[in-house]
């Protein structure tokens, strides 16, 4: 164990350059903690000439990450390129085939191909670690696989896209519309090149699928994640929710139900006084519930060079210290296939709609709800001009199926303008 652990780092963007910097600056500390030196043998990126603010001259350079992954002087392939397919996938596969362990920050790669990659790695006796792929600097993968190994996990929740939480917080604080804050965030470079990855919930959905696999011992099934973005949220929703003691968060929730595995990523109302409700700005939070431990809440930076590099280094140190655990905490080949339980768990819902201000309009809406078996907990009509009456309804607990039936019935009403907004009220 006193042999150095030799890394090949592919991808030298913000995170990659950060990892190189830390390994250079903290060589002595890492050696003390790991009981052996952690060294970089070689690196790879698209543009060799670019100044990354870190001295790379002592490392071999590979233009091709696949060649990097196959080098004899590399024990661990550190994949920080990103992208669910293309070079990241090819190089990760090559690394495993060449007998290397893998550390990756790539949630898209693992959400789409993690099942196959994990099975291949385990058949070859290699480990894949991916702490940086979920919730940035928060060691949630380690907590779930290792710290809570004595628990049946009953529910996993998380606010895992800092950009969305920033947008929702900023709308509330500044009283701006979704579009105004979206444009602002985009201009500041807070959003992915394809903003739907953020605001559509895709990025956070990738993370949820990985957490669900670990928590419930099921095969990775990103396609079963019910995705709903935050584009439907208005400042009015945020204010009405606040008035009732709630905050709106893009919340991922996964739990095992009698009908299968539920994986939802959608804007939800959570109590303003709960840890999730109190989470402002770009910070991430993951809530893990186990039958023994109760509720564990983890909070920290979900992105950025330092936090992400911290997570990558944690994985590297684990491997250096000899930790060898299957990718998802148990053999990937034996993970269960769980049916997708769409909208299985009942909940109260927040509904907002705009009615034509004419006699009987509201009666038709309440009738549609009643016929779907949904009862009303509270209702208010507010702020209305001559033409339109905004109406807000909070239902008692209902299944999403019944709610969808009611919403479908409402859509046929002339009296409703546009599409009603329906947000789940999650009990946290």
Cβ(5)–Cβ(75) below 8 Å: yes
Rounded to an integer, what distance in angstroms lies between the CA atom of residue 291 and that of residue 301? 27
Q: Mark the binding-site residues for NADP(+), compressed into ranges.
A: 10-17
Residues whose CB is less than 8 angstroms from the CB of residue 204 and which lie 6 or more positions away in sequence, other chains included? 158, 160, 161, 164, 250, 252, 265
Among residues 268 and 313, whose Cβ is nearest to its own copies? 313
Among residues 30 and 225, whose Cβ is nearest to its own copies? 30
Could you count the other beta carbons within 10 Å of the beta carbon of residue 34?
19
Among residues 212 and 394, whose Cβ is nearest to its own copies? 212
Six token digits for residue 105: 């920050």
Least distance (Å) from its own copies to the CB of residue 252? 18
Which residues contribute to the site for its own copies (CB under 8 A)? 18, 22, 26, 29-30, 32-35, 131, 137-139, 142-143, 146-152, 217, 273, 275, 278, 290-301, 304, 306-307, 309-314, 316-318, 321-326, 329-331, 334
Q: Mark the binding-site residues for NADPH, compressed into ranges.
A: 107
Residue spans of alpha helices (H) in 145-234 = 162-174, 178-187, 196-199, 202-216
Least distance (Å) from its own copies to the CB of residue 153? 10
Cβ(82)–Cβ(11) below 8 Å: yes
Cβ(160)–Cβ(252) below 8 Å: yes
Q: Which residues are catalytic?
A: 207
Among residues 158 and 229, whose Cβ is nearest to its own copies? 158
Among residues 260 and 304, whose Cβ is nearest to its own copies? 304
Least distance (Å) from its own copies to the CB of residue 136? 8
Rounded to an integer, what distance in angstroms lies between the CA atom of residue 74 and that of residue 284? 33
Tell me the backbone φ, ψ of residue 44, rounded to 5 degrees: -150, 140
Least distance (Å) from its own copies to the CB of residue 325? 6
Six token digits for residue 242: 């606040």
Of the candidates 407, 273, 277, 415, the residue with the CA atom closest to the CA atom of residue 350? 407
Between the alpha carbon of residue 153 and those of residues 83, 254, 288, the distances in Å are 30, 10, 7
Rounded to an integer, what distance in angstroms lies between the CA atom of residue 186 and that of residue 233? 17
Least distance (Å) from its own copies to the CB of residue 296? 4
């Amino acid at each position: 164990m006193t042999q150095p652990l030799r890394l090949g780092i592919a991808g030298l963007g913000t995170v990659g350059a950060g990892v190189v910097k830390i390994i250079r600056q903290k060589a002595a500390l890492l050696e003390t903690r790991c009981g052996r030196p952690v060294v970089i043998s070689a690196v790879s990126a698209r543009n060799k000439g670019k100044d990354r603010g870190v001295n790379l001259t002592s490392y071999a350079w590979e233009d091709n990450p696949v060649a990097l992954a196959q080098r004899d002087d590399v024990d661990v392939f550190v994949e920080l390129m990103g992208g669910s397919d293309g070079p990241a996938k090819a190089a990760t596969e090559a690394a495993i085939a060449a007998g290397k362990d893998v550390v990756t920050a790539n949630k898209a790669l693992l959400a789409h191909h993690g099942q196959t990659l994990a099975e291949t790695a385990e058949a070859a006796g290699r480990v894949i670690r991916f702490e940086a792929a979920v919730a940035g600097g928060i060691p949630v993968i380690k907590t779930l696989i290792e710290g809570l190994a004595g628990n049946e996990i009953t529910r996993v929740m998380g606010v895992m896209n800092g950009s969305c939480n920033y947008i929702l917080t900023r709308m509330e604080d500044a009283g701006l519309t979704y579009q105004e804050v979206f444009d602002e965030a985009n201009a500041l470079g807070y959003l992915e090149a394809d903003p739907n990855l953020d605001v559509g919930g895709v990025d956070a959905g990738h993370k949820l699928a990985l957490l669900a696999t670990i928590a419930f011992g099921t095969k990775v099934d990103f396609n079963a994640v019910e995705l709903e973005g935050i584009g439907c949220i208005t400042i009015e929703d945020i204010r009405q929710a606040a008035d009732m003691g709630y905050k709106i968060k893009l919340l991922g929730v996964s739990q095992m139900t009698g009908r299968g595995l539920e994986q939802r990523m959608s804007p939800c109302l959570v109590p303003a006084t709960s840890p999730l409700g109190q989470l402002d700005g770009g910070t991430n939070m993951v809530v893990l519930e186990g039958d023994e431990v109760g509720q564990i809440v983890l909070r920290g930076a979900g992105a950025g060079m330092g936090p992400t590099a911290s997570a990558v280094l944690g994985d590297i140190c684990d491997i250096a210290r000899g930790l060898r655990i299957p990718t998802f905490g148990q053999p990937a080949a034996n993970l269960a296939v769980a049916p997708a339980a769409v909208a299985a768990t009942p909940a109260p819902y927040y509904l907002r709609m705009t009615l034509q201000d004419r006699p009987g309009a509201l009666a038709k809406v309440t009738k549609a709800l009643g016929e779907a078996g949904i009862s009303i907990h509270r209702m208010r009509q507010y702020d209305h001009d001559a033409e339109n009456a905004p109406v807000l309804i909070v239902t008692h607990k209902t299944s999403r199926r019944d709610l969808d039936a009611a919403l479908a019935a409402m859509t046929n009403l002339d009296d409703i303008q546009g599409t009603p907004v329906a947000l789940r009220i999650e009990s946290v």
